[in-house]
Structure 1
Amino acid sequence: MEIKNLIAAAYAPMHNDGSINTTKIKDYSKFLIHNKVSGVFMNGSTGDFVSLSTAERKEITLAWSKNKSEDLYLIDHVGHTNLHEAKELATYAADKVDAISVLAPYYFRLNKIEKLVQYCKEIAACAPNLPFYYYHIPVLSGAHFNMNEFLKLAEQEIPSLAGIKFTNNNLIDFQHSKKVANGKFNILFGFDELFINSLPLGATGWVGSTYNHLAPLYYKIKDLFENGQMAEASALQTKAIRFVEILDSKGGFNGVGKGFMRVLGVDCGPSRFPHSTLSDADYKIIKEELDALGLSALFSSTEKSLAK
């Protein structure tokens, strides 16, 4: 199955004391579906997986699976610096989600692409009936490998290989990757700030954190592009970039972006160290700044039933 449209990189909802709060996932799921988001990428960078225990990650996987819907495709990131932990997470997810994904080990970094293929192969084998996506994010993982080459090697070793979550600004490698094996693989573009740049390259599926906040904006960019209104589409992409820049300037995008979900009607709680957690007063100022850019009509919104 080819995954299309926006996939939200989901936050890990927490109580005020910083413990996992899975009771929020039911409303979170409804919120995403209401905004025409097609899926969830859980336990990833946006979901602070590096700050969570294996038990907490399983808790999140289970909660999303209990709120599973035909309207929301579930991808679980099960990568870990410890291969045994990653395999345990993949085994746990095998009967709960629609696909699994892993990024490369990021402390003792891999020095050969063959090692990356072996790592992925062992984890994918723990959930053989689920599509497997490699999570390519070299700026954080340090795995600066060519994905075109990875696909050609991994195709021979991983029967469940479905594609890549391509979080890199190397558009040439992205384009080449899409053409491997006559376009067999689903290459999900993961660099929100370059959403508009991915469109002429044939991108049809995207994974990102700002699809939580600005899903209507990105669908409008896509519509404008398809209708040849490039100047208007580019202006909206600039607003999306400013959204990231403004939140990032207030203490770092990951934490501030998570807290901004409260402004949109889904309280995901505080962030874990080292990310920042801001006050309601801070968000009032941020909201005014974003409104001045004309973004208020393009925010993701809750259903009336959720807002009550």
Structure 2
Amino acid sequence: MKIKNLVAAAYAPMLNNGTLNTAKIKEYSQFLIRNKISGVFMNGSTGDFTSLSTEERKQITLAWSQNKKEDLYLIDHVGHTNLREAKELASYAADKVDAISVLAPYYFRLNKIEKLIQYCKEVAACAPNLPFYYYHIPALSGANFNMQEFLKIAENEIPNLVGIKFTNNNLIDYQHSKKVSDGKFNILFGYDEIFINSLPMGATGWVGSTYNHLAPLYYKIKELFEKGEMEKATDLQTKAIRFVEILDSKGGFNGVGKGFMRTLGVDCGPSRFPHTTLTDSDYADIQKELDAIGLTTNFFSK
């Protein structure tokens, strides 16, 4: 099955004391479904995975699986700098989610594509009945390999490989990857700020953090593109970019974006170091800036 439409990169809900608040996930899942989100990418960059223990990541996996809905596809990121930990997380997720994913080890960075394939192969084998997605995010992982080449080699090495979460602005590599083996693979576009650029490339599935906040806006961009109303579509994409820029300027998008969920009715709590946690007063000021650029409430998830 090829995943279509928007997949939200989910935050890790926390209590004010910084411990996990997995009880919030039921409300969170209902919120996403209400906003026509088709899937969840948990334990990823947006989900503070580098600041969570392996046990905490398992708790998040379990909570999402316990609140699983037929219309919300669950992808669990199980990547880790420690291969054994990644395999443990994959084994744990094997009977709980719809698919797993890994990004490349990011401290001792991989210097050959063959090493990346070996790493993916060992992790994927721990959940052999689940679809496996490679999480391509070279800006953070440092694994800046050609994904067309990766797919051509990996399809013979990883039986459950179904696609890539492609978080890179290299649209040429993205397009080539989509065409490997006659379009066999599900290449999910993961760069929110150039969502509009993926549309003429034939993108049909997207994973991103701002789909938590702005799902109606992105679906409107897609609708306008399909109608040929490019100027209006581009204007909305610009608003989405400014949303990221404004929140990022207040201390970093990851933490500020997580806190913004509270203004949408889903309190995901604070972020862990090194991310920033703002006050309600700060978000009131942010809302004024968003209003000033015409990013009104009808563009936000509800």
TM-score bracket for the superposition, by shorter chain length: over 0.9
| 2:164 equivalent to 1:164 | yes
Give the match for residue 100 of structure 1. 100
**In structure 1, what is the Cα distance between the partners aligned to 2:17 and 2:170?**
40
**In structure 2, what is the Cα distance between the partners aligned to 1:163 and 1:115?**
18
Give the match for residue 292 of structure 1. 292
CA-based RMSD of the aligned residues comes to 0.4
String of CA shifts for 1:198-239, please: whole Å, max 9, x gaps: 000000000000000000000000000000000000000000
**In structure 2, what is the Cα distance between the partners aligned to 1:144 and 1:41?**
21
Residues 72-87 of structure 1 correspond to what in structure 2 (within 5 A)? 72-87=72-87
Give the match for residue 139 of structure 2. 139
- What runs of 5+ residues in structure 2 fail to find an aligned partner? none
Task: For 1:247, give the aligned amino acid.
Answer: L
| 2:278 equivalent to 1:278 | yes
TM-score, normalisation: structure 2: 0.99
**In structure 2, what is the Cα distance between the partners aligned to 1:279 and 1:71?**
34
Aligned partner of residue 84 in structure 2, secondary structure: helix
Aligned partner of residue 183 in structure 1, secondary structure: coil
**In structure 2, what is the Cα distance between the partners aligned to 1:155 and 1:89?**
22
Task: For 2:273, give the aligned amino acid.
Answer: F
| 2:181 equivalent to 1:181 | yes
Aligned partner of residue 40 in structure 1, secondary structure: strand
Task: For 1:288, give the aligned amino acid.
Answer: K
**In structure 1, what is the Cα distance between the partners aligned to 2:161 and 2:131?**
6
How many residues are aligned here?
301
Q: Post-superposition, which runs of at least 4 consecutive aligned residues in structure 1 deviate over 4 A?
A: none
Give the match for residue 120 of structure 1. 120
**In structure 2, what is the Cα distance between the partners aligned to 1:63 and 1:292?**
38
Task: For 2:185, give the aligned amino acid.
Answer: F
CA deviation after TM superposition for structure 1 residue 273, in Å: 0.2
Give the match for residue 304 of structure 1. none
| 2:269 equivalent to 1:269 | yes
**In structure 1, what is the Cα distance between the partners aligned to 2:68 and 2:291?**
34
Task: For 1:277, give the aligned amino acid.
Answer: T
TM-score, normalisation: structure 1: 0.97
| 2:69 equivalent to 1:69 | yes
CA deviation after TM superposition for structure 1 residue 292, in Å: 2.0
